[in-house]
């Protein structure tokens, strides 16, 4: 595992996350992720995520509890950068934290290029299945 450092565009919110881009990343075809051009790295251990600065500036989307989906997305309230997603879904193995690859600082271009990408079918709330089409993601 590596310790990645991440931040928002303005630098007001910063975090550290232990993971490995080489283990794979994910893009999703759901409406929300398509609008955000989301690319994430799921952390093998959610407790290995640490917010180091800017707690007071965080904003989040409401949790989708009405349909049984416990997932929400964290942003910087100052510049609007999407930073990470967290939640708890049995289909995804329980509690999870996924950091936005675009929010990671100083990741070598070669590491980004080499990172495998799984295209998930979030449009049908089936993130564990491959998206039927991914060229637009």
pLDDT digits (tens, 9 = 90+) for 3-54: 999 999 999 999 999 999 999 999 999 888 888 888 999 999 999 999 999 9
How many Å apart are CA 97 and CA 42, to the nearest integer?
A: 6
Whether the CB-CB separation of 87 and 96 falls below 8 Å is answered with: yes
How many Å apart are CA 92 and CA 45, to the nearest integer?
A: 13
**The model scores a pTM over 0.85:** yes
Whether the CB-CB separation of 33 and 102 falls below 8 Å is answered with: no
Q: pLDDT category, 64, cuts 50, 70, 90? A: low
pLDDT tens readout for residues 82-133: 999 998 888 778 899 999 999 999 999 999 999 999 999 989 988 789 999 9
Instruction: Indicate the DSSP class of residue 137.
Output: -
Question: Which domains, and CATH codes, for the chain?
Answer: 2-116 (2.170.150.70)
What is the model's pLDDT at position 80?
95
| Cα four-point dihedral sign 59, 124, 87, 63 | positive
Mean of the pLDDT values across residues 50-74?
83
């Amino acid at each position: 595992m590596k310790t990645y450092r991440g931040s928002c565009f303005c630098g007001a919110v910063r975090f550290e996350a232990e993971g490995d881009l080489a283990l794979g990343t994910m893009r999703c075809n759901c409406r929300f992720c398509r609008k955000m051009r989301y690319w994430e790295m799921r952390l093998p251990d959610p407790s290995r995520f640490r917010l180091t600065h800017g707690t007071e500036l965080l904003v989040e989307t409401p949790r989708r509890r009405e349909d049984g989906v416990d997932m929400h997305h964290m942003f910087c309230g100052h510049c609007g950068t999407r930073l990470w997603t967290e939640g708890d879904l049995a289909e995804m193995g329980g509690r999870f934290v996924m950091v936005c690859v675009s929010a990671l600082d100083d990741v070598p271009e070669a590491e980004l290029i080499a990172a495998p990408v799984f295209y998930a079918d979030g449009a049908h709330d089936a993130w564990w299945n491959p998206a039927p089409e991914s060229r637009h993601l």
